[in-house]
Amino acid sequence: MVKKRLKDILERVNSGHLSVAQAMEELRFFPYERIPHARVDHHRFMRTGIPEAILCIGKSIDQVKSIAQNILKRGGNLLVTRADEATYQALKDLDERMCHYPVARMITLIQEPCAETEGLVVIITAGTGDIPVAEEAKVTCNALGSRVDTLYDVGVAGIHRLLDEEQMLSRARVICVVAGMEGALASIVGGITECPVIAVPTSIGYGAQFQGLAALLTMINSCAPGVAVVNIDNGFGAGCLAHKINRIGEARRTAP
C-alpha cells in the first residue's frame, strides 16, 4: 500500500499533475513523522520489507498508543511486541479489530494483509517453556505473510522426538529453533537439514544459564554451518528474518 501511494505521487509528477516542490513536500513527510517522543518510520516497509514495530520495553502505554495511532492513521500494519494486557486494553480503544496474542505478548492489526507465502517457515522449540518466544516468531511471520508450522517440545534429551519429524523439517524453507537451557537443539537441526536455520536462545533455565547467555554461546559456536543467531528471547527478530528468507523463494510464483 505504501509502495502504491509512492508510485502515485511519482506518476503525477511525471504527468505534470504535481510540481516537484509539491512532491518534495509529500515525500519529505513520507519517511517518518514527528509525534511527541517518536519519529514514526512509515517508509521502513519500503526500505526493508518489514513495517516498523513497537517494542513496548521502556515505553509508557501512552507513548505506545500515540505511536500506534499514527501508524494506523496512515493505513500501515501494526505490530506491537512485549505487550501486556493493559497495553492491549489501551490499543483496543483505537480500533476494535485489534488482535491480542497473550502467549506471544503481541498485538497486531493487519489493515493491508499480504498474500500468504507458498514457502513454509517451521518453528521448533526444545521445551514447553520456550513456547512464548516461538509464538512471537509465529505471529510475526503470519503478520508478514509467511506460512508457519510448529513443532514444540522436541529437545535433545529425547532426540527421537525430533528425528520422527524429519518429514516436516524437509518441507521447510527456513527453520527457527527456539531453545533455552543449553540450547543444543540448534546444532542438531543444523546438521540434518538443507535449509537456513535461525537460532533463538531463550532465557529459560536457571543457575549458570545466566538468563540465556549459555544458550546464546552454544548456538553461536554451533559446529553445524548454516546456523545464525538472534538475541535472547527475540522471537520478533527471528520471525522477520525467517520471512525475509522465505520471501526469496516466492519470486518463482509471482513471475509470469
Q: Which of 68, 108, 148, 190 binds its own copies (CB under 8 A)?
A: 190
Q: Which of 6, 94, 153, 168 binds its own copies (CB under 8 A)?
A: 153
Nearer to its own copies, 93 or 164 (CB): 164
Query: Does 217 engage in binding with its own copies (CB under 8 A)?
Result: yes
Q: Which of 3, 7, 97, 161 binds its own copies (CB under 8 A)?
A: 161
Nearer to its own copies, 81 or 97 (CB): 81
End-to-end CA distance of the chain: 22
Q: Is the dihedral of CA 8, 9, 11, 17 positive or negative?
A: positive
Q: Which of 71, 80, 98, 188 binds its own copies (CB under 8 A)?
A: 188
253: Cα within 13 Å, side-chain hemisphere: 10
Nearer to its own copies, 16 or 58 (CB): 58
**Smallest distance, its own copies to C-beta of residue 191, A:** 4
Nearer to its own copies, 20 or 57 (CB): 57
Tell me the sheet residues that pair with 40.
33
Nearer to its own copies, 16 or 42 (CB): 42
Distance CA 10, CA 42 (A): 17
Single-letter residue type at 80 = V
Which 222-251 positions form the footprint of its own copies (CB under 8 A)?
222-234, 236-238, 240-241, 244-246, 248-249, 251
161: Cα within 13 Å, side-chain hemisphere: 13
Which 4-23 positions form the footprint of its own copies (CB under 8 A)?
none
Cell output for 247? 520471501
Query: Does 178 engage in binding with its own copies (CB under 8 A)?
Result: no
Query: Does 73 engage in binding with its own copies (CB under 8 A)?
Result: no
For 131-177, give the DSSP string: HHHHHHHHHHHHHHT-EEEEE-S--GGGTHHHHTTHHHHHH-SEEEE
Helices (H), 164-212: 166-171, 185-192
Query: Does 50 engage in binding with its own copies (CB under 8 A)?
Result: yes
Q: Which of 38, 72, 94, 110 binds its own copies (CB under 8 A)?
A: 38
